[in-house]
Amino acid sequence: CPSPAELRPSNGTRLCALLYADDSPYYEQCCAGDVLEVLPGADLPYLPSGWAGRASSLVVGTRCELTVWSRRAKEGKSRRFGA
């Protein structure tokens, strides 16, 4: 997995988080598969098509916080992640 300070897409802009579709019990293989990029200030009450319940690994950038909910439309229990 990239370190929190390394979160930059190919065009060089800053990212707040990366969510990965694949997971593994081996750390070096845990950030794999499809990737969802979360930009600073993004507000996603609904994940893009095909991502609901799919993210298995995540990395949150420095000076960012990612809040996720157990149900759609920001309902249910929430949990916050930081770098």
pLDDT in tens, 36-51: 999 999 998 888 888 8
The answer to whether residue 71 is domain-embedded is yes
The answer to whether residue 9 is domain-embedded is no
For the chain, the straight-line distance linking the first and the last C-alpha, in angstroms and rounded, comes to 12
The answer to whether residue 48 is domain-embedded is yes
The answer to whether residue 32 is domain-embedded is yes
Number of domains in the chain: 1
The answer to whether residue 5 is domain-embedded is no
* Dihedral sign for Cα atoms in the order 35, 45, 51, 65: positive
Q: Are 17 and 56 in contact (CB under 8 A)?
A: no
Query: How many angstroms separate the CA atoms of 48 and 39, rounded?
Result: 14
The answer to whether residue 52 is domain-embedded is yes
**Residue 25 corresponds to which tokens in the numbers above?**
């019990």
pLDDT for res 10 = 63
The answer to whether residue 24 is domain-embedded is yes
Residue range(s) defining the domain that contains residue 43: 17-82
pTM, whole model, 2 decimals?
A: 0.82
pLDDT for res 35 = 92
pLDDT for res 56 = 86
The answer to whether residue 4 is domain-embedded is no
